[in-house]
Chains A and B, each alone.
Chain A
Amino acid sequence: MSTLTAVVAVLAVSLLTLGIGAFGLRLSRTTSDFYVASRAVGPGMNASAISGEYLSAASFLGVAGLVLSRGVDMLWYPVGWTAGYLVLLLFVAAPLRRSRAYTIPDFAELRVESHHARRVASGLVVLIGVLYLVPQFQGAGLTLRTLTGAPTWVGAVVVALVVLVNVVSGGMRSITLVQAVQYWLKLCALLLPLAFLLVHTHGHAPTGGARLHAADWLEPMQGPYSLYLTYSLILATFLGTMGLPHVAVRFYTNRDGRAARRTTVAVLALLGVFYLLPPLYGVLGRLYVPGLIGSDRADTVVLALPGNALGGLGGDLLTAALGAGAFAAFLSTSSGLLLSIAGVVGQDVLGRWFEPVRAFRLAGVLGALATLTLTLLSSGLAVAHAVELAFAVAASTFCPLLLLGIWWRGLTAAGAVAGMLLGGVLSAGAVGLTMLGVTPSGPLGAVLAQPAMCTVPVAFATMVAVSLATADRLPAHLGSTMVRLHAPEALQLDRGSYRAKGARG
């Protein structure tokens, strides 16, 4: 019975996503629509869409799983994922919108005027996008297995197919609407079961209360290397958000730089409300599903709670609601990521042989297939940790490119390329080893598990040092580029002639 309810819920979310996508399809026809929804998106809608896209499997399932097993220190994940938007707001939001770049590779090309830098950035978009997609597909497999007992590949394939159809057919206009709906869907899907669980807990004092008082779970900074691990996590999440491919592309859909800032403030509010909820699932899981503590299935605690705490038809229905919310999370984040990957690969690789819309579609198919293959091959890291590693790579590559590119006139093409390459190789190397299950003990193990504290400064230092060494090769249009990035749009000024490739549609 519970299987049937859950399958109906997952189907409903998938069909809803496809339905809204099909509705939006009628509205999107030109190349420009495919990439950025023609910029006709208001700040409220845009903030919901950004939040809907951002709250992934890691937020919906992973945070509760980590809190369940490892306690208060894991609250830095959601705090960092929110604070990342504050840092983005401070240094990047308005200038990135004003740059009129669709993607980070566009920004690289505009700022350092080098095709080489653009290509490196494109490669990194694909790398970060795939690193971020794999845990989404993995979470989908885990969810469907928990709900129905189906093998893990089934959920991954379902998500891949729905996302592919949606991205390839609808483009960003429909995605924007889908994403905005998904935020509210996810919030309600967590809020409603939580209300029932809290009322239930209040009425029946559960027996597992002692498990809430274990000092190594309750109190912060307990494990070995906790100071390094926590600060490295903080660095990765605070600085990584601005470099996520699906986040950057969203800023183009704002009307202007001022709207971009206001949208970001609204995003901070929406994320702050959402992130109050998942840790409570972790705490309640401690009481009702102790079997999952520390297990490799801790990520399923959100889904397991209603059945274990309430049982009966009510438990089934609430489990179905959570399953639907989880699928909304996989679908929305995966759509945004696949869209970014397809946009970049379509423009920069396949664009030579195919016309734009066709190249975009083909790139989407290739991206989904590649991720699916990797998901089936990879070993199961905790979903939230796997996602955070993608942040570490973004913080070690695109963060220095954006910060130095926007605020320092001295950045040269050679500096940007060297910094992105070195930061990318080091961080992706550490992430790759961690995903393969290489976990040495001692300080090296801590560095591999949370590389950002080492790789971010190296990337910054390289970018600055190589730029200084090539200071005679500043970009030719640096002056007008800086005007473009920083001057409010209302002023009539010369902002240079660069147009992002996607703008031609």
Chain B
Amino acid sequence: MSSEATPPRRVRVTSPRAGRSRRTSVASEIDAQTELGEVYMRSLMRSQLRLAVGVLLLLASTLGLLPLLFVTVPGLQGARVLDVPLAWLLLGFLAYPLLLGLAVFYVRRAERNERAFHDLVGPR
């Protein structure tokens, strides 16, 4: 497609019922708290909880493991990297980018889960 060609102006075509809120059947199932509605809500909660627990486990198996590693792995307490003591480097600096990275990862995934739910339940 050439870049000079101006695309035709988009015109919104609406039905006579526009303006009134149109709702999908899924939304009314949730409002009526039917079994099907519950299933939808539970699936959203489960996907978000699974994500949150997954990120928490990542946190626990990295940062959370450090005290145990310092006690059990010989030589780790006094280890140095580029002449900086490893423990100071990890806890004084590297912990913060790790936390921020996990947070960004989580938010992207959580918003994706919500978009999927929105596509399922929301107005089309």
Q: Enumerate chain A interface residues (CB-CB to B < 8 A).
A: 72, 75-76, 79, 82-83, 85-87, 89-91, 94, 215, 218-222, 226-227, 230-231, 234, 258, 261-262, 264-265, 268-269, 271-273, 275-276, 279, 407, 479-480, 482-483, 486-488, 490-494
Contacts and interface: CB of A to CB of B under 8 A. Distances in A.
Interface string B39-68: 001001100110010011001000110111
The 3 closest A-B pairs by CB, nearest first: A272-B96, A75-B91, A90-B52
B93 A269 contact: no
Given A90-B52, A407-B45, A486-B41, A221 B67 contact: yes
A220 B117 CA distance: 46
B107 interface: yes
Given A265-B107, A272-B99, 10 more contacts: A90-B52, A218-B88, A231-B67, A258-B114, A268-B100, A407-B45, A486-B45, A487-B30, A488-B114, A491-B118
20 contacts: A72-B85, A75-B92, A82-B95, A86-B55, A86-B59, A86-B106, A89-B107, A218-B78, A220-B67, A222-B77, A226-B71, A234-B67, A272-B99, A272-B100, A275-B96, A479-B41, A482-B45, A487-B121, A488-B117, A491-B118
A227 B118 contact: no
A487 B117 contact: yes
Contacts of A86: 55, 59, 99, 102-103, 106
A489 to B, nearest CB: 10
Interface of B: 21, 23, 27, 30-31, 33, 38, 41, 44-45, 48-49, 52, 55-56, 59, 63-64, 66-68, 70-71, 77-78, 85, 87-88, 91-93, 95-97, 99-100, 102-104, 106-107, 110-111, 114, 117-118, 121-123
B19 to A, nearest CB: 14
Contacts of B59: 83, 86-87
B96 A491 contact: no
B92 A276 contact: yes
Of the listed residues B56, B92, B100, the one surrounded by the most CB atoms of chain A closer than 10 A to its CB is B92
A276 B27 contact: no
A264 B103 contact: yes
A87 B56 contact: yes
Given A234-B64, A261-B107, A490-B122, A219 B96 contact: no
A47 to B, nearest CB: 12
Given A218-B85, A264-B103, A279-B92, A486 B44 contact: yes
A72 B76 CA distance: 14
Contacts of A215: 78
Nearest to B111: A258
A200 to B, nearest CB: 21
Most central of B31, B38, B78 by chain A CB within 10 Å: B31
Contacts of B52: 90-91
Contacts of B48: 486
B67 A227 contact: yes
Given A75-B92, A261-B110, A490-B118, A89 B103 contact: yes
Contacts of B64: 234
Given A227-B67, A230-B67, A234-B64, A493 B27 contact: yes
A79 B45 contact: no
A238 B27 CA distance: 36
Contacts of B100: 265, 268-269, 272
